[in-house]
Structure 1
């Protein structure tokens, strides 16, 4: 069941965390808000566009903003205003941080853990779409994993590597070994654009992705 992607936020209520998803901007960028049920602390993934909508989504209160990668459409229109209005700490993959137009408070590496109230996200570095792209894994203690993949994994394939064969090889390797080999089929995937999927739905296509090279 897709977490609704459109004008109104879609909501997934887990025992410890509430996940809201909204599509913003002309590029159909997905922004995700995670709220800790026990503390009320909030974390936003990809403050991409339409800052007024995102500030309304979080009620003007935000503790952490994570930018999944350096491409401008995931930060340019909203991140500066959201951070200025809320004072949220900023996180991004360390190699990508210098290219993001808001200073990064915490540069992320593979295996780092981001804690927000009573929940945490594990950082998974996926190199290829950009040098410092990260996915964020929430291991729900009451259910299946939830994985926020930025532009590194979508329904139907890995992220765009712009015709660079070595970048594709790197991204395919990381997605295969760090995601598909490590996580179960029921892992829910929340991409940077468009609809949700699961690892199980995508797993049968891995060989096709490898052979086509994108």
Structure 2
């Protein structure tokens, strides 16, 4: 793996995972199966507690990524099919609760163990992870924000990618997601590292100059 790969957070589907540390924050990224779904482990290195972000697929692979770590829960960025295929394996076989936003209840294969709302804060060891509700890609789309020693880290699901927001199906949803992104960019510094639901990473500073053109190009 080259230094360039590390900088952009490139991982291959079903290949090696990538670990990034910032103070006592460990953020592990891996990709599973043909849709190149990113799954993340957000862990506190001082306590070994962690969150699993998105139960996309291959629960046995997710279990490997959690070895030596104590998961508090698995949290969903949203309920699209490619992000929930390991739900039963994670919940029943691994015994890890799955949490998500009630707005995506009709997309989830079963009820969540805990409903998450905008502004909730999830304690993971000595880390505090803020829940951000930003609808548009789906009604219940969530992002997760955690502060490292050097910079904030944002797990954006399919709401924010390098080069734009995730798919929307109506002009109204495009406006909603853009309004939410405008507010989000207003509060986050350029150095914020962004971890999307598919593909490579980006930063708020890289994407900030393009917000107006994203809104202009429409849904």
Shorter-chain TM-score bucket reads: over 0.9
The count of residues paired between Structure 1 and Structure 2 equals 210
TM-score (norm 1): 0.94
Structure 1 runs, 4 residues or longer, greater than 6 Å off: none
Whether 1:165 and 2:171 are equivalent positions in the alignment is: yes
Whole-Å Cα distance in 1 between the matches of residues 27 and 215 of structure 2?
A: 32
Could you give the per-residue CA deviations for residues 21-79 of structure 1, whole angstroms, max 9, x where no partner exists?
00101110000011211111121001101121111111285321001101111012x12
Whole-Å Cα distance in 2 between the matches of residues 92 and 189 of structure 1?
A: 20
Whether 1:149 and 2:149 are equivalent positions in the alignment is: no
Aligned partners of 2:44 and 2:124 also within 8 Å: yes
Whether 1:191 and 2:201 are equivalent positions in the alignment is: no
Whether 1:207 and 2:212 are equivalent positions in the alignment is: yes
Given candidates 112, 120, 123, the residue that maps to 1:112 is: 120
TM-score (norm 2): 0.92
Whether 1:176 and 2:182 are equivalent positions in the alignment is: yes
Aligned partners of 1:111 and 1:122 also within 8 Å: yes
What are structure 2's unaligned runs of at least 5 residues? 1-6
Q: Could you tell me how far 1:98 is from its partner in structure 2?
A: 4.1
Aligned partners of 1:3 and 1:11 also within 8 Å: no
Q: What's the C-alpha RMSD, in Å, of the aligned pairs? A: 1.3
Could you give the per-residue CA deviations for residues 179-212 of structure 1, whole angstroms, max 9, x where no partner exists?
2111001100000000000010001111111110
Whether 1:5 and 2:11 are equivalent positions in the alignment is: yes
What are structure 1's unaligned runs of at least 5 residues? none
